[in-house]
Amino acid sequence: MPKSKNKKKKSRSGKNRTSLQDHKKVGKQLQSGFAVVADKVTFSSWSNERLPEMIWAAIIRVIDDQDYAIKEFRRILSFIGEHGEKDQLSDISLTGISKLPDALREQFIGFILENKTTASALVVLSLFENLPARETWVNLLPKEEPDISILMDAVGFNLPHQSQEATDCRWLKLMAQVISGKFHVPREMAEEWFGYPYEGDLRKIRPSIRASEMAENPLVEKDLTWPNAFWDEAWRNSPCLALMEEKEPTIAEAPSVSRADITSLLNEIESHWSHTHSTTAIDARHDAVFGLALYVVKVLDEMLGIGIGTGILGRLGLRTILEAHISLRYLLYKDDPELWKKWRAYGAGQAKLNALRFDELMDPPKHINQSTIEAIAGEDLWEEFLNIELGSWSGLDLRKISEKAGVKDAYDAHYSWTSGYSHGTWGPVRESCFETCGNPLHRLHRYPKQQSLPDTISDACLLVNSILDDLDKSYPGFSHRIAHSGVENE
């Protein structure tokens, strides 16, 4: 039987997520299946809202191993099941416990703390001034120094809502509702939950636990007083920490190029220009091919400055080189004398637009030489005969140009993300200016930190070599390229 041609490719990351091809194009958006119904869904957050309520269970979960925690959880569930007022013990969140009658609240907390190891670990709850029923907890907790490290472990391991640790705590919360008679499920499902985590198909049971635990009564308004207070106190009373990520060692693939090599390359391009230059009349094709080659090599030269390739400006330089590569490949693909002239006239028109603006409306900024742009505007044709093109020089956007020129792969690889750096959108701002906090008590938030980005020089050199290939094809005899092996910055 022939294989389907539409078989999906496996993602390189191995992540289970909606593929790009399965997103639906709506206007100028690519929408995933879940995003389409987002406005119809009520979101419920384990990490932000429900973990703080079950932080006492999360602490128990990280005291030792899973077996210790499950044994403790079953001990607590037995207490609920055997209690004469078990219907009042359905909500074992911290807020729920705080709302119990005084005697029952003290009895329940006292039972949780009967195990000395568990009680010692839970002393850390006393650090929170806004802890629900704080007076009862403090009176019953051992008089010991709290260990904040166990709190950090509890949050860190339980923050991901699908982690084994979080699932165990969610199971405890759910089972308290089942045993107290507040949550009714089919007998088969209840039996599977009672045997957790030692019996049954956990691949099916774990998701059912998580899905059921997050089900909330829509008629009951959420009380986020404690969750908000928990995260606020955790933030104010503990420092940001650097997140230590385990990274596989990578072999540098950047070309071995120095600024001296770039100077030599520029000289070679100028020499080849001289050998192929045949007239002092306007030669739009020759000027464009050599001009773009010289331009991108100069951009690369600046990118080799200390820290540029691993910074924001390196990404702007890479985007500039990419656009030059796509434009030149398209011009060569068409190789139409009128299009070469049009590309050149577009640049002259932009010079005219700015010259008029600065002549009539405002003073030029310090970095602009007004006499130079006026000269550019009128050097090919008297500017009174020169139109100002407000669209693109080709009449197409860069993506369509890249498709026609056969370099869409380069466009897809480099354009979108580097354009974000040019426009200052959140993604690049986040990548270049913020780091993920390694303190679990801060919910892995972002904080400002100076850092280097992955080097852009290797990618820039590959694009520059493609432009040099085009130069050689247009005016044969130019064999110089940027070598490949490690990078040498000034």
8 A C-beta contact, residue 181 and residue 468? no
8 A C-beta contact, residue 302 and residue 308? yes
CA dihedral of 51, 52, 58, 59, whole degrees rounded to 10: 160
Amino acid at 154: A
Amino acid at 174: L
CA distance 326 to 362: 34
To 5 degrees, how large is the angle CA 447–CA 453–CA 455? 180
- Predicted local distance difference test score (pLDDT) of residue 242: 81
CA distance 19 to 15: 10
pLDDT tens digit at each of 490 positions of the chain:
445 455 556 665 555 666 656 667 777 666 666 655 555 555 679 999 999 999 999 999 999 999 999 999 999 999 999 999 999 999 999 999 999 999 999 999 999 999 999 999 999 999 999 999 999 999 999 999 999 999 999 999 999 999 999 999 999 999 999 999 999 989 999 999 999 999 999 999 999 999 999 887 655 678 999 999 999 999 999 888 887 665 554 444 545 788 999 999 999 999 999 999 888 888 889 999 999 999 999 999 999 999 999 999 999 999 999 999 999 999 999 999 999 999 988 888 787 777 787 777 878 888 777 778 777 777 767 777 677 777 788 888 899 999 999 999 999 999 899 999 999 999 999 989 999 888 999 998 888 988 889 999 999 999 999 999 999 999 999 999 998 554 444 4
Q: What is the pLDDT of residues 74-113, one digit of tens each?
A: 999 999 999 999 999 999 999 999 999 999 999 999 999 9
Q: Is 243 left (phi over 0), alpha (psi -120 to 50) or beta?
A: beta
- For 162, the 3-state DSSP assignment is coil
- The two tokens of residue 69 are 């925690």
- The two tokens of residue 427 are 């993604």
- The two tokens of residue 12 are 């390189």
CA distance 422 to 427: 11
- Predicted local distance difference test score (pLDDT) of residue 140: 97
- Predicted local distance difference test score (pLDDT) of residue 249: 45
Say what angle helices 408-423 and 457-474 make with each other, to 10 degrees.
130
Q: With CA atoms as reference, report the closest residue to 56 among 142, 139, 145, 169.
A: 169
8 A C-beta contact, residue 131 and residue 412? no
- Predicted local distance difference test score (pLDDT) of residue 338: 93
Cβ within 8 Å of residue 305, ≥6 positions away: 259, 489, 490
- Predicted local distance difference test score (pLDDT) of residue 251: 44
- For 391, the 3-state DSSP assignment is coil
Q: Is 295 left (phi over 0), alpha (psi -120 to 50) or beta?
A: alpha
CA distance 72 to 210: 20
Say what angle helices 408-423 and 312-334 make with each other, to 10 degrees.
140
Cβ within 8 Å of residue 458, ≥6 positions away: 253, 254, 255, 487
- Predicted local distance difference test score (pLDDT) of residue 403: 94
